[in-house]
Homo-oligomer: A and B are copies of this chain.
Amino acid sequence: MAEHVQSPFRTALQKQEEREAKRAALLRTAVQMFNRRGFHATSLDDVAASLGVSKPTIYHYLGNKEQVLVECLTIGLDQLFTAADEVKGESGTGLERLRRFLCRYAEVIMDDFGRCVILSGDETLSPKGGRKLRAMKRQVDTALRTLIQEGIADGSIAPTDPKIMAFTLAGAVQWPARWYDPDGEIGPQDMSRRIAELLIAGLAPR
């Protein structure tokens, strides 16, 4: 039987996968630098250097610095949209679904892309980019507010102003972007659950 020659040429699929892997590595490196140093203090040269490539390589895969940031923000916001969509389709009282949403929300925030959504002020982007970002953030806020309204309607959440409650909860689950230590003792899932429980039970003993 003739020896089969393993092709040294990559298939279209392999090329596509390689491209995706490179893009993902560049994005992850960029978002971590944005989060650690701030967007303004980060240069794409540093991002490139840390992966041993040149700046034009980043331009090729991702575009300029604002485009890289927009891509990072879009990934983080998509994770929040996914969490909201999942919870919408689930069963349970408003409070039970809100609890699950708060947990997933906080978990997203504790990861790099979600963290970037919180740490980047709208004013970091161009006016147009800022408007788009604000509109996407409003969608997440609307999902939160809807769950609260459903919980109040079915009696599982104490009656209150849904808008003020949504902002208050959002603050609590977004703040880990500044304080949560991924290398600390408590994992993101456990930490998120604890935060959600505190918000549900309140400070006063029951």
Contact = CB atoms under 8 A, between A and B. Distances in A.
Interface string A124-140: 10000000000000000
Interface in A37-51: 37-38, 40-41
Given A121-B119, A176-B171, A200 B198 contact: no
A164 B98 contact: no
A62 interface: no
A149 interface: no
Contacts of A158: 201-206
A164 B198 CA distance: 9
Given A171-B173, A171-B176, A172-B168, A202 B205 contact: no
Contacts of A75: none
A76 interface: no
Contacts of A98: 203
Given A123-B37, A161-B194, A172-B172, A205 B155 contact: yes
A86 to B, nearest CB: 20
Given A37-B123, A123-B37, A199 B194 contact: no
A110 to B, nearest CB: 12
B175 A195 contact: no
A95 B203 CA distance: 8
A177 to B, nearest CB: 9
Contacts of A171: 171-176
Interface string A19-58: 0000000000000000011101100000000000000000
Interface of A: 36-38, 40-41, 95, 98, 119, 121, 123-124, 151, 155-158, 160-161, 164-165, 167-176, 179, 191, 194-195, 198-206
